[in-house]
C-alpha cells in the first residue's frame, strides 16, 4: 500500500490521458462557492512533481504563497499598517505610514497615480521596487529616508 503524504501538502498522480505526472496543492477556498482553489502543474517525472509539490507546500505554510486573486501592494501595505497599529506607538505608526506614502501615494490619496500600489503583490518584481526607490532619490529624498521606505518589506510581519 502506498504511503500517504501529510494532510494539506497536496497530491501527486499520473494522468493516463496526458501521460504525465500531475502535482496539485490546495491554496484556499473560493469565498463565493466554498470550492477549493488548487494550483496544478504537470511534469514528465514523478520526482519533479513531488519536488514541486513539496516546495509549494512549504511556501504555503510559510505564508509566501497567496491566492491567485491576491492582494494589491497597496492593500497589503494597509493590512500591514493595521497590524502594526496594535504593536507600536501612535507616533511610530504615523512615521511608518508617512514613509510608505512616498513609495505608494495611493495610501494617502486613493485617486493618486500609483502604478506600484495597484500591482498585484505576487506580480511585483524587484526591478519595479528599485525603480521606485531610484525615483525617490531623484526627487531629492535623503538616502536614509529612501532606506526607511524600503524597510517595511524587511520587517517581520
Asked if residue 88 has pLDDT above 80, the reply is yes
> What are the structural domain ranges in the chain?
11-62, 73-153
Tell me, what's the pLDDT at 157? Answer: 46
Helix (H, G, I), strand (E, B) or coil at 92: helix
The DSSP letter of residue 23 is E
Query: Which comes out higher in pLDDT, residue 81 or 31?
Result: 81
Looking at residue 120, the DSSP 8-state letter turns out to be B
Band of the pLDDT at 5, cuts 50, 70, 90? Answer: low
Q: What's residue 91's pLDDT?
A: 94
Confidence of residue 49 (pLDDT cuts 50, 70, 90): very high
CA dihedral 16, 20, 21, 24 (to 10 degrees): -90
| Range from 11-20, 24-33, 139-148 carrying the lowest mean pLDDT | 24-33
CA-to-CA distance for 44 and 23, rounded, in angstroms? 11
Cβ 121 vs Cβ 76: under 8 Å: yes
Which pLDDT does position 8 carry in this prediction? 65
For the chain, what is the mean pLDDT?
82
**Which three-class secondary structure state does DSSP give residue 119?**
coil
Q: Does 155 have pLDDT greater than 50?
A: yes
pLDDT at 111 over 80: no
Measured at the alpha carbon of residue 99, what is the angle toward residues 64 and 66, in degrees to the nearest 5?
A: 15
pTM: predicted TM-score of the whole model, two decimal places:
0.55
Residue 154 has pLDDT above 60, yes or no: no
Amino acid at each position: 500500500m502506498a504511503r500517504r503524504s501529510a494532510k494539506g501538502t497536496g497530491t501527486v498522480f499520473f494522468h493516463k490521458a496526458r501521460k504525465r505526472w500531475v502535482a496539485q496543492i490546495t491554496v484556499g477556498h473560493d469565498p463565493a462557492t466554498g470550492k477549493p482553489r488548487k494550483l496544478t502543474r504537470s511534469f514528465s517525472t514523478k520526482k519533479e512533481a513531488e519536488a514541486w509539490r513539496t516546495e509549494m507546500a512549504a511556501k504555503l505554510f510559510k505564508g509566501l504563497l497567496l491566492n491567485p486573486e491576491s492582494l494589491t501592494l497597496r492593500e497589503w501595505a494597509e493590512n500591514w499598517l493595521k497590524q502594526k497599529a496594535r504593536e507600536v506607538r501612535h507616533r511610530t505608526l504615523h512615521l511608518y505610514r508617512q514613509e510608505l506614502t512616498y513609495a505608494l501615494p495611493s495610501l494617502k490619496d486613493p485617486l493618486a497615480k500609483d502604478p506600484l500600489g495597484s500591482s498585484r503583490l505576487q506580480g511585483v518584481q524587484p526591478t519595479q521596487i528599485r525603480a521606485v526607490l531610484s525615483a525617490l532619490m531623484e526627487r531629492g529624498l535623503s538616502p536614509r529616508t529612501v532606506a526607511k521606505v524600503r524597510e517595511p518589506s524587511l520587517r517581520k510581519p
